[in-house]
Amino acid sequence: MKYPIIFLGLLLTVSCKQKAKSQNESVQTGTAIRLDSVSSDTSIKEEKPVLKTFEGLSDTTFVRLADFSEDFAYDMRYATENNFLKAKVYDCAECYTRVKTAKALIKANKDFMEKGVKIKFFDCYRPNSVQYKMWEIVPNPQYVANPDRGSIHNKGGAVDITLVDLEGNELDMGTDFDYFGKRAYHDNMDLPQEILDNRKLLKETMEAHGFWSIRTEWWHYNLSAATNDRVANFKWECDD
């Protein structure tokens, strides 16, 4: 009678081992599936738009700045009615410049980011046809450049900007963009020190990268190397 009991014990032992092996294989297989799934999900999450390079592009080519850097902020006012014209004059919001301007802006922004701030754009390249629209609304050379002559905005060498911290909060510059009054003048020193320091940081950094300002607008900067470029009417495409 002992032999059948022993035999039954052996059967139970073998059965348990096979069951454990099967469960272990199931767990391992399941783990492999989960790992594969995580790996696949991770690779999807890590996919980012590939930034373009300036290789092979001439300095006068028009480029979309966001294609070359993700480190800028934007509030393109003339694509809205939130501007001194009280009118939308761009079909859609985009920031284009010529290549040499884009290169200088990226270098300047690198310096700004080392100080914990970055550039935010209000306006960039402006087609000459838009300059005519603006002139029709406000035909005053004190506020809008005569489109027959054009402005450096029309050449792809001017930008209207401010600074924001790395969370996107604007630094206090004393006035809003396109405020036409003495409070916006660079030579107005009758302002709180914080505002003067913020304007100084903006001005000195931009000048160090080849830009020059105009006395009456703290936000406006022209690239010196773009002064002699031709007025352009290049128009970007808008997504439907």
Which residues make Cβ contacts (< 8 Å) with residue 168, sequence separation at least 6? 73
pLDDT of residue 32: 35
Measured between its terminal Cα atoms, the distance across the chain in Å is 88
Indicate whether 85 pLDDT > 60: yes
For residue 178, pLDDT over 50 is answered with: yes
**Mean pLDDT of the 34-42 span:** 39
Q: For the CA atoms of the chain, what is the radius of gyration?
A: 30
pLDDT of residue 5: 46
Q: What is the pLDDT of residue 49?
A: 74
| DSSP code string of 151-182 | -GGGGT-EEEEEEEETTSPBP--SS-TT--SG
For residue 143, give both structure tokens: 């506020």
- C-alpha span between 60 and 54 (Å, rounded): 11
* Average confidence (pLDDT) over 5-25: 46
* Tokens 């709180």, located at residue: 192
What average pLDDT is seen over the chain? 86
- Give the pLDDT confidence score for residue 46 in this predicted structure: 54
Mean pLDDT along residues 162-171: 98
pLDDT of 120 > 70? The answer is yes
Q: What is the pLDDT of residue 114?
A: 98
pLDDT of residue 47: 64
Q: What is the pTM of this model?
A: 0.80
The pLDDT score that the predictor gives to residue 87 is 97
- Judge whether residue 51 has pLDDT over 60: yes
- Could you report the per-residue pLDDT of 192-240, keeping only the tens digit for each? 999 999 999 999 999 999 999 999 999 999 999 999 999 999 999 998 6
**pLDDT over threshold 70, residue 30:** no
For residue 25, the model assigns a pLDDT of 42
| Distance, CA of 15 to CA of 36 (rounded, Å) | 31
